[in-house]
Amino acid sequence: MGLARIAHVFAAARAEGRAALMPYFTLGYPDAGTSEAVIRAIAAAGADLIELGVPFSDPLADGPTIQRSTQVALEEGMTVARCLALTGHLREAGVSQALLLMGYVNPIIAYGATRFVADAAAAGADGLIVPDLPPEEAAAHGAGEIEAACAAHGLALVYLAAPTSTEERLVTLAARTTGFLYLVSVAGVTGARDGLPHDLAAFVGRARAVAQTPIAVGFGIATPAQARAVGQLADGVIVGSALINAVTGAADPSETARIFVGALRAALDTGQSHR
């Protein structure tokens, strides 16, 4: 369903007066079977969209937690092809949420950009998040194929904006992104943090002034209270490292994930949106 499913998810959440919840989890962490069980659990717990991490050896946008999870997944034999197969398994198991593959450009090009997008669509993915593919370079080194292939298959290609983005760059990102615009709440890498940036509301306001799509905020959101606060500003709330931290070493990873995501969803359900 691609872009249509993503649009429907944000519209449905908006109709309920809340932000959409988008957890991130690394495919293959700590192994393929466990990651599938965890993702099915967070779907059942109330996730609206799910960001599926495609492991890569040099995840430059990610902090220590996600870096470690991707390294473990790679050591367990996770590959791009296995990530696509696992996405298909999730659809076969009845996961109906919007699924976005979050990965880096080098493995996509090595797999074959057009082939990757076609196989992602066939597996049931609705879009891609490629943090090291800025729109200014989307035509370089064959990466332009990704944008063209996503358009051809009706998949979202989500671009990221940092709080240091100029107004001119925000306009470019807002015009080129599809599905939603991903706001990085802080300059730096992913990872749970103690508090939210003091200027987050201003950043969201700058983006909303030029955005033609919903706005989702990620990086550093760790607790239900933080998720509720971000949900009052943005259309979507992305939580990754804190979920992986919760699952790591848990006796029952899928149940731990279910409880963690359920608490985030409850916080968004009780928080009043100001959007």
Half-sphere exposure of 13 (CA within 13 A, CB side): 33
Q: How many whole angstroms separate alpha carbon 217 and alpha carbon 207?
A: 11
* 26-48 tens-digit pLDDT: 999 999 999 999 999 999 999 99
Query: What pLDDT is attached to residue 261?
Result: 98
Q: How many whole angstroms separate alpha carbon 236 and alpha carbon 228?
A: 11
Hey, which bits of the chain come out as E strands? 20-26, 49-53, 98-102, 127-129, 156-158, 160-161, 181-184, 215-218, 236-239
User: Active site includes 62?
Assistant: yes
Query: What pLDDT is attached to residue 60?
Result: 75
Q: Do the Cβ atoms of 84 and 119 come closer than 8 Å?
A: yes
Q: Is the dihedral of CA 243, 96, 178, 54 positive or negative?
A: positive
The token pair that represents 229 in the structure block: 């606060």
Q: Is the dihedral of CA 138, 83, 117, 221 positive or negative?
A: negative
Answer whether CATH 1.10.760.10 is correct for domain 3-270: no
Phi and psi for 171 in degrees, rounded to 5? Answer: -60, -45
* List 62, 126, 145, 235, catalytic entry: 62
Query: What pLDDT is attached to residue 189?
Result: 45
Q: Which residues of the chain have pLDDT under 70?
A: 61, 137-143, 187-195, 197, 272-275
The token pair that represents 129 in the structure block: 């998040």
As beta bridge partners, residue 20 has 236
* List 48, 51, 126, 235, catalytic entry: 51
Query: What pLDDT is attached to residue 140?
Result: 56
User: Active site includes 16?
Assistant: no
The token pair that represents 63 in the structure block: 């902090």
* DSSP secondary structure of 69-126: HHHHHHHTT--HHHHHHHHHHHHHTT--SEEEEE--HHHHHHH-HHHHHHHHHHHT--
Predicted TM-score (pTM) of the model is 0.93
Query: What pLDDT is attached to residue 135?
Result: 81
Hey, which bits of 111-234 come out as E strands? 127-129, 156-158, 160-161, 181-184, 215-218
Strand order in the sheet with 215-218: 156-158, 127-129, 98-102, 49-53, 20-26, 236-239, 215-218, 181-184, 160-161
Helix axes 144-153, 113-123, angle to 10 degrees: 30
Q: How many whole angstroms separate alpha carbon 246 and alpha carbon 182?
A: 24
Phi and psi for 156 in degrees, rounded to 5? Answer: -75, 145
* 178-217 tens-digit pLDDT: 999 999 987 544 444 455 768 899 999 999 999 999 999 9
First to last CA, the chain: 26
Rg (CA), the chain: 17
Sketch the domain layout of the chain as residue ranges: 3-270
The token pair that represents 230 in the structure block: 């971000």
